[in-house]
Amino acid sequence: MRKIFISPSILTADFARLEQECKALEKCGADWIHCDVMDGNFVPNLTFGMPIIKSIRKCVVLPLDVHLMIDRPERYIAQFAEAGANLITIHAEATENVADCLKLIRSCGKKVGISVKPNTPVEVLQQYRGLFDMILIMSVEPGFGGQSFIEESVNKIRRARELFPDVLIEVDGGINKHTAKKVIEAGVDVIVAGSAIINVADRKHAIEELRKM
Ligand code: DX5
Ligand code: ZN
């Protein structure tokens, strides 16, 4: 049986209590912490940048899974690496220099992720084969937590698994215990969940529920 990693997104956490929130997630059995960086251009929302990643780095030992929803991420890769990200994911739609950007992440000694929005076919990633360790399939339009899972994502995950048997596949958006089952069956390794973990009283239980096959 393969291991399923749970990467809670802090997007819906209380940002005034980020230290306690992150420590609580660590205690509750999270495998990674998913950090959603948004620039108000690539997506119609703004969140946080390097200083917050740097602060989170000091409060937990868990790997930081940094999801960059920003245009031309190559401008900031070195700074996110320096701030303490362990895995840096960029969007295939965010830059004209995807390959260089992926190489840059690797040259900073970090794990490399590449993400596709719901309308971008996973086939576009074939040209970057060998340059990434993980594919992030967005199962909602990026930008906001609490949206409904796009069902077509299940087929997309299956296709990604076929095309790229050797990389991790992560899914992000609208994941709860029901959708988690479907995506695990389709082949994901890493589950991102925001509201399904953060907005419930028993987060430990919520994390355990998501892991169930
Ligand atoms: C959306 C973010 C997600 C978001 C998921 O653009 O990338 O990580 O926090 O939130 P839920 O799990 O509530 O859909
Ligand atoms: Zn995300």
Each residue's pLDDT tens digit, 98-114: 999 999 999 999 999 99
* 55/84 Cα distance (integer angstroms): 9
pLDDT at 26 over 90: yes
Task: Tell whether ligand 1 has an atom less than 6 A from the beta carbon of residue 145.
Answer: yes
Task: Tell whether ligand 1 has an atom less than 6 A from the beta carbon of residue 143.
Answer: yes
With b for 16 or more beta-carbon neighbours within 10 A and e for fewer, the 83-92 pattern comes to bbbbbbbbbb
Catalytic residue list contains 172: yes
pLDDT of residue 37: 98
Task: Tell whether ligand 1 has an atom less than 6 A from the beta carbon of residue 203.
Answer: no
Nearest to 148 by CA among 90, 194, 212, 102: 194
Of 140, 141, 210, the one to substitute when testing ligand 1's pocket (max ligand atoms within 8 A of C-beta) is: 140
Element (H, E) at 153: helix 153-163
Average pLDDT over residues 70-74: 98
Torsion angle (degrees, nearest 10) of CA 161, 164, 165, 166: -130
User: Using 50, 70 and 90 to split pLDDT, how confident is the model at 212?
Assistant: confident
Average pLDDT over residues 29-58: 98
Ligand 1 center–CA 2 separation, angstroms: 24
pLDDT of residue 213: 72
pLDDT of residue 187: 97
Of 64, 117, 192, the one to substitute when testing ligand 1's pocket (max ligand atoms within 8 A of C-beta) is: 192
User: Using 50, 70 and 90 to split pLDDT, how confident is the model at 195?
Assistant: very high
pLDDT of residue 2: 87
Q: What is the CA radius of gyration of the chain?
A: 16
In sequence order, which residues have a C-beta less than 8 Å from that of residue 164 and are 6 or more positions away? 125, 129, 135
Task: Tell whether ligand 1 has an atom less than 6 A from the beta carbon of residue 8.
Answer: no
Q: Is the pTM of this model over 0.85?
A: yes
**Burial (Cβ within 10 Å: 0-12, 13-18, ≥19) of residue 151:** exposed
| pLDDT tens column, 94-152 | 999 999 999 999 999 999 999 999 999 999 999 999 999 999 999 999 999 999 999 99
Tokens of residue 83, six digits: 């701030």
Percent of the chain past pLDDT 90, that is, above it, reads 98
Task: Tell whether ligand 1 has an atom less than 6 A from the beta carbon of residue 91.
Answer: no
Task: Tell whether ligand 1 has an atom less than 6 A from the beta carbon of residue 113.
Answer: no
Ligand 2 center–CA 171 separation, angstroms: 9
Average pLDDT over residues 165-183: 98
Looking at every residue in the chain, the average pLDDT score rounds to 98
Ligand 1 center–CA 179 separation, angstroms: 14
Ligand 2 center–CA 127 separation, angstroms: 23
Tokens of residue 212, six digits: 């169930």
Catalytic residue list contains 36: yes
Q: Which is the catalytic residue, given 31, 39, 65, 172?
A: 172
Element (H, E) at 6: strand 5-8
